[in-house]
Structure 1
Amino acid sequence: MKIIRYLSSFSLSQKRVNNPNIYPYNVFSNKSEKVFLFQPITLLYGNNASGKSTVLNIIANKLQIEGSEFATNNKYGITRYFSDFIQECDYELGEDEAGKQLEQIPLGSRYIKSEDILYEIKKIQQEQILRDGYVYEHVRRGMAKEQIHSLKASEKMYEQIEYLKFAQEKYSNGETTLQMLDDYIGTDALYLLDEPEVSLSPANQVLLAENINKMARFLGNQFIISTHSPFMLGTLNAKIYNLDSSEMETAKWTELENVRYFYDFFVKHRDEFEKYK
């Protein structure tokens, strides 16, 4: 068992701008606390527009992690507000197993967004998109144009497309999501996951959370995850930040509004469940 925190802390920009609509300053303008202290698994909880996905993208950009997305500039003048915000953020790396300060985030680290997963599923569902995605992946890896032309007409590409089409028929969206996450996540790295429970049933959300617990405990991975799923929140062995609060305070999963909503709903319908005992 090896428990490592590659990223120890992250501080969002403390700067205030005059225009209340400037992104991403406007997302955190009402937050009095802007520092995160991370554990092997840390959860960012919040309702829609709470900023949890924005925080992950900011961290990914600051650390230059694969999967980061650069936000377009605001329409207010020519100032590169997103770039400025990223530069104004600060972070501290963790320590290795010997207690030595780390010098960089592991190279295999990755930011995986819910839309990435949905796009991968869409590629499997549409053959042309699947073919384009297969070619794009080789272009991304640096394959020359001449090689790409040969690839498009190759038996290898045909076989790979047929394999993925078979996977589409064999697995549901939820099963495909679990398989993709399993393929994406390796060992000894930092992973930022944006609502990975998308398209998963409650049972598969719990299964995913249990797998993440194991990957953090035994594979040397650190996870920072945005979610509002009560099944993920209740299963993961994690520190939880409530981004709905102005102090972005830590909380128990049973205290969170979304979880309490589920609880109250089922309590309200308790009699309907009891009669089936």
Structure 2
Amino acid sequence: MFLKKVTLLYEEDVSKETYPFSIPAIQSMTELDLTSKVTFFVGENGSGKSTLLEGIADLCGFNPAGGGRNNTYDVDASESALSDYLRLSWMPKVTNGFFLRAESFYQFASHVDDMAQQRGGSYQAYGGKSLHHQSHGESFLSLFLNRFQGRAIYLLDEPEAALSPQRQLTFLRVMHDLVQEEDCQFIIATHSPIILGYPDATILSFDDGEIKETRYEMTEHYQITKYYLDHREKFLKDILGD
């Protein structure tokens, strides 16, 4: 592990009615200890998990629109509103890594094309061909398999967005190899009950106005998915009213 703690630094002139401090989970945060090589952020949309992940990525020197330290390109509304108020505690500090932002991955793929043209068409770090010439899921896996390497920290915002259930399982295998054999650390914001099932990970919930550790079986992602699979007809009748 490299990143050990994330501390929120308040200033007297900061209003708790102003974004991102208006988000209850962010407002109540003081220090966040990271105790596992894999940490999951879970919670409803708008609960603050992506906001915190973007702030961490910015302080790591990664492009908050997605990418590593050497990926410079602009995407509207990609700036972190929180990073000026965060402090990261490392032991030891690493500079290698990547921030995957699923919602702006198309722009990142275009940036990779621009860089490849400047280098004479090389896509060595992305599976040998343009990410735009692969399916969405293939491009994500190409990134994980070719760009991700050892002694690094990887921040992923909803990596399941492009992955089928089978490819989510493939991603778990890739992540496991990187954690166990390449000494990598992952912080992942996700809604996927498949990815959340990774063993010995820490799961931090952003719901109910605070950030607190929870067990896999206690997450809504697990409970709702399990109930739906076990009682599909009743579940659909209840919500559809038929």
Normalising by structure 2, we get a TM-score of 0.76
Cα gap change, 1:263 to 1:220, in 2 (>3 Å) = same
**In the alignment, is residue 61 of structure 1 matched against residue 46 of structure 2?**
no
**In the alignment, is residue 253 of structure 1 matched against residue 231 of structure 2?**
no
Q: 1:49 aligns with which of 46, 49, 64?
A: 46
Cα gap change, 1:238 to 1:107, in 2 (>3 Å) = same
Q: Is the partner of 2:170 in helix, strand or coil?
A: helix
2:140, 2:123 → 1: CA distance?
22
Q: Is the partner of 1:198 in helix, strand or coil?
A: helix
Cα gap change, 1:230 to 1:267, in 2 (>3 Å) = same
Cα gap change, 1:173 to 1:194, in 2 (>3 Å) = same
**In the alignment, is residue 9 of structure 1 matched against residue 27 of structure 2?**
no
Amino acid in the other structure paired with 2:129: L
* Residue in 2 that maps onto 1:93: 90
Q: 2:28 aligns with which of 32, 39, 46?
A: 32
Q: Is the 8 A contact 2:7 2:88 kept in 1?
A: yes
Shift of 1:62: 2.3
* Residue in 2 that maps onto 1:200: 163
1:230, 1:158 → 2: CA distance?
36
Task: Count residues with an aligned counterpart.
Answer: 219
Cα gap change, 1:239 to 1:164, in 2 (>3 Å) = same
RMSD (Å), alpha carbons: 3.4
Q: 2:98 aligns with which of 110, 113, 125?
A: 110
Q: Is the 8 A contact 2:24 2:210 kept in 1?
A: no
Instruction: Name the % identity.
Output: 23
Mapping of residues 32-181 of structure 1, within 5 Å: 32-38=28-34, 39-63=36-60, 65-69=61-65, 82=81, 85-94=82-91, 102=92, 105-119=93-107, 133-134=112-113, 136-137=114-115, 156-157=120-121, 164=129, 168=133, 172-181=135-144
Greater relative contact order (Cα < 8 A, sep 6+): 1
Shift of 1:222: 0.7
Shift of 1:14: 3.8
Shift of 1:166: 11
Unmatched segments (≥5 aa) in structure 2: 66-73, 235-242
Q: Is the partner of 1:25 in helix, strand or coil?
A: coil
Q: Is the 8 A contact 2:145 2:174 kept in 1?
A: no
Cα gap change, 1:238 to 1:158, in 2 (>3 Å) = closer
**In the alignment, is residue 235 of structure 1 matched against residue 202 of structure 2?**
no
1:246, 1:110 → 2: CA distance?
28
**In the alignment, is residue 212 of structure 1 matched against residue 209 of structure 2?**
no
* Residue in 2 that maps onto 1:99: none
Which one has the bigger helix percentage? 1
Shift of 1:193: 0.9
Q: Is the 8 A contact 2:204 2:213 kept in 1?
A: yes
Cα gap change, 1:264 to 1:87, in 2 (>3 Å) = same
Shift of 1:25: 1.6
2:28, 2:75 → 1: CA distance?
24
